[in-house]
């Protein structure tokens, strides 16, 4: 159980760091772009979506590793053990859609819970960031 908590904390720290670095770099890059602000926001949206995809893949790699390692539990249901099924599962958990066609068991369940919470926080962070970037130039006509 201690190892599961440690792994969960490590994964969350890694994806939060990835998210922070992406948003920080976007903040530096957007003002330097020589295009209209509305198009710079599109760059911000795609940058934050790319960050979310990388974060989802990080969780998926951990799911894949835990599923194929003994004593961590596994994923059952409409699941064949492939990395792409882990990515699909991670997308549904991160976005809190949770279709329910793949079900976690064992200690792996704790990672799914923390991924849902992390996804919710990071998606909200992206929305706040993009709103702030839009509001910064909202009154200008470009």
> In the prediction, which pLDDT does 36 show?
85
> In the prediction, which pLDDT does 140 show?
59
Rounded-to-integer distance, Cα 99 and Cα 90, Å: 11
Length, in residues, of the chain: 142
Full residue range of the structural domain in which residue 95 is found = 2-136
DSSP state of 6: H
Task: Classify residue 142: in a domain, yes or no.
Answer: no
Task: Classify residue 9: in a domain, yes or no.
Answer: yes
- Per-residue pLDDT reduced to its tens digit, 47-75: 999 999 999 999 999 999 999 999 999 99
pTM of the entire structure? 0.93
> What band does 134 get if pLDDT is binned at 50, 70 and 90?
confident
Task: Classify residue 77: in a domain, yes or no.
Answer: yes
Residue 66's CATH number: 1.10.287.70
Please state the domain count of the chain.
1
Task: Classify residue 8: in a domain, yes or no.
Answer: yes
CA distances in angstroms from 13 to 89, 136, 139, 141, listed in the order given? 20, 29, 37, 39
């Amino acid at each position: 159980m201690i190892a599961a908590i440690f792994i969960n904390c490590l994964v969350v720290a890694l994806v939060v760091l990835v998210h922070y670095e992406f948003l920080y770099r976007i903040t530096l890059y957007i003002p330097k772009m020589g295009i209209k602000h509305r198009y710079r926001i599109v760059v911000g949206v795609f940058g934050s979506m790319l960050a979310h995809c990388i974060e989802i893949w990080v969780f998926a790699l951990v799911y894949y590793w835990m599923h194929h390692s003994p004593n961590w539990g596994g994923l059952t249901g409409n699941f064949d053990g492939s990395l792409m099924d882990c990515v699909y599962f991670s997308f549904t958990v991160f976005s809190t859609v949770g279709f329910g066609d793949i079900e976690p068991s064992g200690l792996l369940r704790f990672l799914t819970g923390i991924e849902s919470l992390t996804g919710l926080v990071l998606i909200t962070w992206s929305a706040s960031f993009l709103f702030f970037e839009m509001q910064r130039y909202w009154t200008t006509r470009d």
